[in-house]
């Protein structure tokens, strides 16, 4: 049992230090969902409703992600200007500093990407049934957003974590 916990902890720490794994998790989840829809003919969350409800999802997605992006930008500005021993440790500790920066950049760049996908989907989804599959791109972008949202929560918790001892 202890080795299972250690393995899970190692996987989680590996995921945290490699933001690119969010793309793999997103691809696996989207691929699995697409396969299930293809096999069963049911469960296409964004493809089932008509065009107007899909456009509402795209618009809402772009708006929410843009708002989160502005909060992330404010948080990065506060991080960059903060003083004190805890922030100095976060910036200079070899095991934390580069990981911290990579995670911030990944979260911020994802907000830009997801907003762009949602806004592009508004322009490209022009029919009632979306035969081009634009809604799948939005679903993938929103899944990436969910992974990056978890990463963002982890970053905020890291600032107050006992792992970061001044």
Question: Which pLDDT tens digit goes with each residue over 13-56?
Answer: 777 778 889 999 999 999 999 999 999 999 999 988 999 999 99
Cα dihedral across residues 7, 10, 15, 21: positive or negative: negative
Per-residue pLDDT tens digits for 95-144: 777 777 888 889 889 999 999 999 999 999 998 888 888 999 999 999 99
The single residue listed with the structure tokens 């293809």 is 38
**What 8-state DSSP symbol labels residue 20?**
T
Q: What is the pLDDT of residues 136-150, one digit of tens each?
A: 999 999 999 999 988
pLDDT in tens, 69-80: 888 888 777 777
pLDDT (0 to 100) of residue 44:
92
Q: What pTM did the predictor assign? A: 0.84
* 29's tokens: 């989840």
For residue 128, the 8-state DSSP code is: S
């Amino acid at each position: 049992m202890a080795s299972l916990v250690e393995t899970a902890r190692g996987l989680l720490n590996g995921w945290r230090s490699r933001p690119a794994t969010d793309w793999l998790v997103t691809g696996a989840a989207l691929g699995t969902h697409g396969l299930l829809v293809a096999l069963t003919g049911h469960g296409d969350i964004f493809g089932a409703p008509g065009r107007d409800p899909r456009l509402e999802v795209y618009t809402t997605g772009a708006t929410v992600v843009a708002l989160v992006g502005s909060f992330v930008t404010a948080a990065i500005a506060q991080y960059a200007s903060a003083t004190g021993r805890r922030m100095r440790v976060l910036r200079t500790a070899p095991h934390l500093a580069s990981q911290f920066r990579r995670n911030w950049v990944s979260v911020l760049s994802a907000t830009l990407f997801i907003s762009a996908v949602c806004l592009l989907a508004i322009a490209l989804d022009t029919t009632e049934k979306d035969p081009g599959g634009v809604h799948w791109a939005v679903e993938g972008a929103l899944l990436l957003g969910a992974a990056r949202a978890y990463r963002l929560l982890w970053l905020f918790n890291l600032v107050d974590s006992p792992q970061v001892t001044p």
